[in-house]
Structure 1
Amino acid sequence: MANKVKQIHDFGQSIWLDFIDRKIIFSGELKRLVEEDGVRGVTSNPAIFEKAISSSADYDADITELSKSDKTDEEIFFGLAIADIKLACDLLRPVYDQDVVGADGYVSLEVSPFLALDTEGTISQARELWKAVDKKNVMIKIPGTQPGLAAIREAISDGININVTLLFGLERYEAVTEAYISGLEQRAANGLPVNHIASVASFFLSRIDVLVDPLLDANGLGDLKGEVAIASAKKAYAIYKRVFSTDRWKILAEKGAVPQRLLWASTSSKNPAFKDTKYVEALIGPDTVNTIPMDTLEAFRDHGDPASRLEDDLDTATQVMEKIKAAGIDIDAITEQLEQEGIDKFNKPFQKLLEAIAEQKTKIS
């Protein structure tokens, strides 16, 4: 029987794994996922690393060793994370080298979540992490906050692969495409190559429905529960197709630039009433990425239904967005709230992670 996860690639979408730890690398599990399920990339975030480091003894020896220097707790964390990211990059390098070089095979490492609203700090750390990992197939994650836009543009002009994270709203997504394109234009104007620079824009989905669905019930729109995030994603894809087909873009494409793909994130169903593969199935379509946690990947392998649906019912997506607006549901305010909550959701585990490292240091002092 054909592997259902691997079949998604037949429709032009790449599946990346939203998880990393040392066990999955050293056990051969990640290699198996690449070979058998067709996983074509890996994403990480502070919450993922917090869980990996706090729930395992795999990192204790390295923490002990790094603690012998005068490194801060944050520097120790990035020392641990960079080691894992390098290993994963090497493991995914054959995917990076396939077919069109650089189409996939990326591993993402995020700047400190404490820098989410700090433009200059983000630029500086993005450069440091890019240099420290020193792999062509690493992506540095930068939040798509308002202060993050200038950092994204600057990092792209530096030739750094960027995964723009924490996107919820359509207006901000379009601003991110502008940051990417203007960064490439700046680079080209400096006489530097724009080929082999890759970027994805990570649109977070299920969290939108978590906030919106109770409001739908309150406004007599209960039949739209679970549909607003998907409608938003389809509208984002329409923006993607428009932005990356303009004459302005074609000038960069002639120089070898590739579009900044949309990446669907937060695609595990938060509502137990929904099918656990709902957000994966609805958004399969060409030239996109879906990064999924292990349990969602395993669920799709078991009972997923692979088919290209991203461009189905586009009129319905428009109607959904119009209906919620007519009901007085302010989607812009909701996406702004989600961005703030998203920053907090990464800040808290990162703080917890630094505290765990500090505690580990006290045990060996």
Structure 2
Amino acid sequence: MTTINKVKQIHEDFKQSIWLDFIDRDIMRSGNLQKLIDEDGVRGVTSNPAIFEQAISSSSDYDTDILSNITVTSDPEEIFYKLAVRDIQNAADLFEPLYNEQVNGADGYVSLEVSPLYALDERKTTEQARALWLEVDRKNVMIKIPGTRPCLKSITTAISEGININVTLIFGLKQYEAVAFAYIEGLEQRLAAGQEITRVASVASFFLSRIDLLVDPILEEKNLPELKGQVAISSAKAAFALYQRIFSSSRWQVLADSGAKPQRLLWASTGNKNPAYRDTRYIEELIGPGTVNTVPLSTLEAFRDHGQLQAGLENNPEKAIRNLERLAQEGIEMEEIALQLEQEGIEKFKAPYQKLLLSITDKIMP
């Protein structure tokens, strides 16, 4: 009797793509990443400063490359990106057959993030996005740009130049809407310039578990226990409804007629941070068509073991809207919450990034 792989069934049965929120050299060298592609149906990879900090600081896998780069530069940031680009290239090569399954490259993407130190700097973000895109030189890479207000123009510029973008650090509905329209504007500019738009791809990464982590104590204080653990899921369902409206509009149809692909919603921060909740809840409750869920390895393994296959994303959207309306009635302003989470998210990425640079500095010091 053949055992059903629950992770693989998510895409086969529900048309949602599972990407892995992890990368290091060992997982590629050992063949484990290829195994995840073959057996679990993993369809992409995302990375961030914290993931690279863990990979580089906690192992000797990168030491030889770090030392070999000293002859070229002593700048730890330059050295880091040389290491990261090599990893991203190798991962992208593993996923290229999957990218080529469909002409438009629906999946098979590997994401590399611009420096979190530039999260509020449009010019530096745009310049680094261009540089990384050229350096990685893979059609199935996405450059991660934060969805901060200053970087919305960076998103539009990058898309207009044909750079695939993973927009990160999205926590609120207004922020998500602005990101979606930044993508559309970039495509419109590109089309107006007479350039093709069929192979430009983007995802909008909506962060989940951090929302509940911040809001749950507020709900406790306001004696609203029935909403605990519901806010992130409700926000995601509301974002999906917004996605459906935006990408079925007449404005979007003009681009679709020229071959444009919608900017898919990607569920991020899906590792559960509250032991009171199921460790697979941010997968189970948000399985739905045309979306992506990027999951930590431990969460993927948990879902493979005991996850529940269910079409949760489109289930009871009215309840999600009522939950968000109730929060507003109780004076809980989700846009303020989203801004706070964005600011905290920037700092949460800055800290491991700076730790990473110090680690590289220590390795190159005589």
**Cα separation, 2, equivalents of 1:332 and 1:187:** 31
1:40 aligns with 2:43: yes
Deviation at 1:83, TM superposition (A): 0.3
Deviation at 1:70, TM superposition (A): 2.7
Q: Which residue of 1 aligns with 2:91?
A: 88
**Cα separation, 2, equivalents of 1:85 and 1:299:** 26
Q: Which residue of 1 aligns with 2:81?
A: 78
Pick aligned residue for 2:8 from 3, 6, 9? 6
Q: Secondary structure at the match of 1:34?
A: helix
1:118 aligns with 2:121: yes
**Cα separation, 1, equivalents of 2:349 and 2:165:** 18
Q: Secondary structure at the match of 1:340?
A: helix
**Cα separation, 1, equivalents of 2:302 and 2:49:** 24
Any idea what the Cα deviations from partners look like across 1:295-335, whole Å, max 9, x if unmatched?
00000000001121111111100110011111111211111
Any idea what the Cα deviations from partners look like across 1:139-169, whole Å, max 9, x if unmatched?
0000000011000000000000000000000
TM-score by length of 2: 0.98
Pick aligned residue for 1:278 from 257, 276, 281? 281
What letter matches 2:38 in structure 1? Answer: E
Q: Which residue of 1 aligns with 2:267?
A: 264
Pick aligned residue for 1:255 from 254, 258, 274? 258
Any idea what the Cα deviations from partners look like across 1:6-35, whole Å, max 9, x if unmatched?
010020100000000000011000000000
1:349 aligns with 2:352: yes
Show structure 1 runs of 5+ residues with no match.
Answer: none
**Cα separation, 1, equivalents of 2:361 and 2:342:** 29
Q: Secondary structure at the match of 1:121?
A: helix
1:219 aligns with 2:222: yes
Moved more, 309-318 or 161-170: 309-318
What letter matches 2:7 in structure 1? Answer: V
**Cα separation, 2, equivalents of 1:70 and 1:203:** 36
Q: Which residue of 2 aligns with 1:313?
A: 316
Deviation at 1:237, TM superposition (A): 0.2
Q: Which residue of 2 aligns with 1:52?
A: 55
Residues 142-153 of structure 1 mapped to structure 2, 5 A cutoff = 142-153=145-156
Task: Indicate conservation of the 8 Å contact 2:99/2:140, yes or no.
Answer: yes
Pick aligned residue for 1:108 from 100, 111, 127? 111
1:296 aligns with 2:299: yes
What letter matches 2:167 in structure 1? Answer: V
Q: Which residue of 2 aligns with 1:231?
A: 234
Tell me the C-alpha RMSD between the 2 structures: 0.7
Deviation at 1:72, TM superposition (A): 1.2
Pick aligned residue for 2:23 from 20, 23, 48? 20
Moved more, 92-101 or 270-279: 92-101
TM-score by length of 1: 0.99
Q: Secondary structure at the match of 1:67?
A: helix
Pick aligned residue for 2:335 from 332, 336, 339? 332
**Cα separation, 2, equivalents of 1:76 and 1:231:** 41
What letter matches 1:336 in structure 2? Answer: L
1:184 aligns with 2:220: no
Deviation at 1:101, TM superposition (A): 3.6
**Cα separation, 2, equivalents of 1:239 and 1:345:** 28
Q: Paired residues, what number?
A: 363
What letter matches 1:234 in structure 2? Answer: K
Moved over 4 A (4+): none
Moved more, 260-269 or 322-331: 322-331
Give the direction of change, closer, same or farther, for the CA distance of 1:268–1:70 in structure 2 (3 Å limit). closer
**Cα separation, 2, equivalents of 1:122 and 1:330:** 29
1:199 aligns with 2:202: yes
Give the direction of change, closer, same or farther, for the CA distance of 1:313–1:168 in structure 2 (3 Å limit). same
Any idea what the Cα deviations from partners look like across 1:114-153, whole Å, max 9, x if unmatched?
0000001011000000000000000000000001100000
Q: Secondary structure at the match of 1:16?
A: strand
Moved more, 307-316 or 229-238: 307-316
Residues 58-73 of structure 1 mapped to structure 2, 5 A cutoff = 58-73=61-76
**Cα separation, 2, equivalents of 1:323 and 1:216:** 11
Deviation at 1:71, TM superposition (A): 4.3
Any idea what the Cα deviations from partners look like across 1:201-244, whole Å, max 9, x if unmatched?
00000100000001111111111111000000000000100000
Q: Which residue of 2 aligns with 1:160?
A: 163
Deviation at 1:90, TM superposition (A): 0.1
Task: Indicate conservation of the 8 Å contact 2:22/2:297, yes or no.
Answer: yes
**Cα separation, 2, equivalents of 1:251 and 1:92:** 31
What letter matches 1:142 in structure 2? Answer: I
**Cα separation, 2, equivalents of 1:290 and 1:76:** 30
